[in-house]
A and B are shown apart, each in its own frame.
Chain A
Amino acid sequence: MYVTTAIVSGAVALLTAPLFDGAARKVRAIIHSRKGPPIIQPYIDILKLLGKEDLRCTPSTIFRFAPAVALASFLIVAGLTPIGAGGLGRYGDMIAWVYFLTLGAAAIMLMAAASGNPFSNAGAAREVMMLLSVEPVVVTALITAAIKSHSLRLVDMVTANVAGGPSVSMVTAGIAFFLALQATMGKLPFDIVEAESEIVEGPLLEQSGPNLALLKMALLVRQVVYALLLVTLFCPWPIVEPWPVAGLAALVKVLVLFVVAAVIEAVSPRMRIDRAMTYMGRILFVALAALAFAVIGV
């Protein structure tokens, strides 16, 4: 049962992530008053990349295997997400959720540094600084849920949230998580890591061909995973019973989130890194307020 849920979660995250990206691109195109690519364009891009030449700028093994490690880590995180019975949630709790995401990010940073390109190094440094600014918000929101549910396991948190109904602390934590979602997804105005016109795609720069396809898939899965946690943990209503239907409902909500993110992306310029850090600091106050509410018991 757990194994099935885990495999299905991972597979669904992997296979639907490009679809969400395609929908986001379509929405952005509509705002830009153009027709835009078809919704399945990301799939076509990935398939094309899988066949292209793999250009290696360094013989380093880290450079070669890091995209696969990153994708694997994010798939594990997808398996840990509490849909239905919770998949891998039987073996890992919220701390594992946060740290496997960090493992994937670390894999990307190591890959960027291994390439030896200064643009990639700058991108890796920016990734770290964005992590330092954004992850505290995510973690504080999760700790709020843990305090409310008296458990570190994600499934217990969902159960407690569903049973208790919307509470002040969980709603505030959800708002903080949503405000941080744009940054965790790496979309404008927070696409500082892959700043196309500044550091030429940063960590992605020296990757090509199949490794680039894996890396793109990894980044898309990461976006889906963050959105998935927001909808399953902080916004589980309406509650539907058999877990495949619950999963579908979650995916619909994730689609809504991606559309909202695309709208914000289309109308925003990029923030400078230090401005982004102070902005995230302000969002951290919202998250800390949620934590304070949870400690009080509201």
Chain B
Amino acid sequence: MIGVYVEIAFVLLLVGGIAVAAARSWKAAGWIATVFTGAATVLAWIAGVSVLTSGQTAQAHVVGLPRFGSELAVSLDPLGALFLLIITAVSFVATFYSVGYMGIYRSESPARFYGLLQVFVAGMVSVVCVADWLFFIVGWELMTLASYFLVTFERSDPKAVRAGFKYFVMTHVATAGLLVTAVVLWRATGSFSFAAHTAGLGDLGSGLRNLLLALYLIAFATKAGIFPLGDWLPDAHPAAPSGVSAILSGVMIKLGAYGVIRVFWGMLPSAGTRAELMTWGVIIAAIGTLSAFVGGLTAMQQNDSKRLLAFSSISQTGYVFLGLGIGIAFWGHASLGTLALLGLLGAGFHIINDATYKSLLFMNAGSILYSTGTRDLNKVGGLSRVMPIASAAALIGALSLAGLPPTNGFASKWVIYQSSMSAGLRFAPFVAAAVIAFFVSLSTLAYALKLYNTAFLGQPARGEPIPLPRTMTVAQASLALCCLAAGLAPFWVLGVVGRVFGAGLSQTFAISAAGGLRTPASGGAMAAVWSPVVLFGSLIVCFLIAELIRASGQAQTRAVPNWYGGEEHTDDEVRFRAHGIYSPFNAAFENIYPHLPIPRLPSLSKARAVLDLDSWLYDPLVRVGGRAVDKVSRSHVGIPQLYMVWQAAGMVIVIAVLVWVVR
């Protein structure tokens, strides 16, 4: 029954994608898309929440393909339900945001954008709702294709087209690996279902199994944006319109993590040995840590607001993979249950938090772009006067990204640090991961503040910034409130994540006085405690005391201009530009992010030509048809006697045919 809701949601999204073709204007198309996505979101949330509370998988059969050993069916288990909630919620907010944002596009087609957006969301929904590898890949491809067309939405911009092409190529190289594994296991088991493939994976020899696992990891790590496979990310995310960037970075990347959890937590413990689990866990944690480190340091060097956030996505995905690696490495270990659970809980919580604040920050970057027309941080400033609410939301987003208390970013990082240090007691290199993770968190603070300070604080830059439409402000404010709420009540969100991994919250954390989290020193974990309400309350008390001290002198206030060393300057002359911030530090880490070269010449244009259906399929057909029609029309010379001759000849032919048929 619940599974039917998911089916209806999927169909609603597709119908919405078609329905926007009827809209005349950008606004109308946007509202149609928002309504359909909203309805789909409500249904998906009903289904997802019911699956999470009951812990049972929701099923709904559509059609079976017995010849392929596959079936198209909705099979929503708690893991899929969690991701379904994230996908639909963020997509809804991003669609709502786009209603106002897409006003900067005048000449493009709204039907194309919103139609593709709906298909994109439908693709993502279908990825997490199936328990069958064939339809998983179908949904994966649908998602990738739709997002490719959205990334290259600005067809006239060669950089966007190139970025989209790179994304397409890299994802498909990785998906090829996914196809290989699916086919190999299908040949071995005769079915495409997750359960059958788990058993099949266990029956294989360990060499082949590890090869398949490597292919799985490459596929999902590419989608997640792990360095160096995520090289498509820094080009593709800035190229897309900001609402789409928010969805790309907020949820699509997380589906890479979903795949890793599905395979390495869902399939490997029953299919592989203890040693394999440990090895793969360490590998995943290692690539995660490397990705976090490189992504964080490269983001500090960026002066393009969206590119900075794209590198930040690479970095935050690294954190998720670190938590996942720890969880997978120690899963099923008799005495280290709490430790493994901590890793997985941290990763899951970080996925939720990152979805919230990363999409918020991309929307903020979109607001900057909407208001000033540029993504270059050197050219913007003082936007908090033009958009105060969006600026406050951006501040919360930046602080959440940096992981400062009491935002949600801190809570998930707290869990990941704990798990990393506790894992270090069992396997020493995890301690190094903890140190690196702390350092990366500081560099995250650095670039988060770089983004916020240069764009929103300080003196206004040259030019007239445009104020934001209300839908954009509301979208950003709602996400900011979610960040704060999740930060002040982390036990609630962790409880939800705990249901996914099969543990009640009390197994890992004790909820201490005033809604805090306390990790007991058992099951491999180290004792730790975090009580956001108490500490934030104390912070407010101390703040009031400080303000009291401040007011005790009863000082007068006066407004004065900035002091520039006694010299006369215009504010824009002496503004501290973004490229100068952290330059000594960046000079030390100049070439830390190597780029994978994608060859420029003929293969690129030939391959692009294949994708351009207009040029080799539709146009020739239209031309041939037109020429044929032309030839026919030339026979109409306009002389009535000729037409009568044709009519007489035609009548003769018809009578002859009739006579022949009747006889």
Contacts and interface: CB of A to CB of B under 8 A. Distances in A.
B450 to A, nearest CB: 8
B262 interface: no
Interface of B: 382, 384, 395, 399, 402-405, 410, 413-414, 417-418, 421, 424-425, 428, 431, 434-435, 438-439, 442-443, 445-446, 449, 452-454, 457-459, 512, 514, 516, 519, 521, 526-531, 534-535, 538-540, 542-543, 545-547, 549-565, 571, 574-576, 580-582, 584-585, 587-588
Interface string A198-240: 0010000110011101100100000000000000000000000
A85 interface: no
A200 B452 CA distance: 24
20 contacts: A47-B553, A54-B558, A55-B559, A68-B547, A69-B543, A96-B530, A110-B452, A114-B458, A116-B457, A116-B562, A129-B585, A132-B443, A151-B527, A151-B528, A153-B529, A205-B563, A210-B549, A210-B551, A210-B553, A214-B549
Interface string A263-281: 0000000000110010000
Contacts of B403: 99
Contacts of B535: 76, 88, 91-92, 96, 100
Interface stretch (A118-126, A176-184, A244-252, A254-262): A118-126
A213 B438 contact: no
A142 to B, nearest CB: 9
Interface stretch (A19-27, A35-43, A133-141): A133-141
A110 B531 contact: no
B521 A150 contact: yes
Contacts of B382: 116
A31 interface: no
Given A53-B558, A95-B528, 10 more contacts: A57-B559, A72-B546, A103-B405, A119-B565, A132-B443, A132-B446, A136-B439, A146-B421, A210-B549, A217-B549
A224 to B, nearest CB: 15
A143 B424 CA distance: 10
Size band of the A side of the interface? Answer: 35 or more
Contacts of A153: 527-529
A110 B384 CA distance: 13
Contacts, number: 253
Interface string A52-67: 1111111110100101
B552 A93 contact: no
B538 A79 contact: yes
B405 A100 contact: yes
Contact of B542 (A72, A91, A128, A129): A72
A239 B579 CA distance: 51
Given A62-B457, A118-B576, A277-B585, A150 B531 contact: no
A136 B457 contact: no
Contact of A128 (B449, B546, B559): B449
A92 B550 contact: no
A76 B543 CA distance: 10
A84 interface: no
A74 to B, nearest CB: 9
B521 A151 contact: yes
B431 A90 contact: no
B435 A291 contact: yes
Interface in A80-111: 88, 90-93, 95-96, 98-100, 102-103, 106, 109-110
A57 B560 contact: yes
A55 B384 CA distance: 20
Contacts of A102: 402, 404, 442, 445
A161 interface: no
A51 interface: yes
Contacts of B395: 62, 110
Contacts of A68: 543, 546-547, 550
B435 A136 contact: yes
Given A51-B553, A116-B458, A156-B527, A132 B563 contact: no
Interface string A153-189: 1001000000000000000000000000000000000
Nearest to B446: A128
Contacts of B542: 10, 71-73, 75-76
Contact of A59 (B431, B559, B562): B559
B565 A143 contact: no
B28 to A, nearest CB: 38
A131 interface: yes
A135 B585 contact: no
A283 interface: no
Contacts of A52: 553, 555
Contact of B539 (A59, A73, A110): A73
Nearest to A10: B542
A96 B83 CA distance: 29
Given A132-B439, A295-B431, A50 B538 contact: no
A5 interface: no
A121 B453 contact: yes
A16 interface: no
The 3 nearest A-B residue pairs measured at CB: A50-B553, A121-B576, A113-B453
A50 B552 contact: yes
A152 interface: yes
B568 to A, nearest CB: 14
Nearest to B528: A152
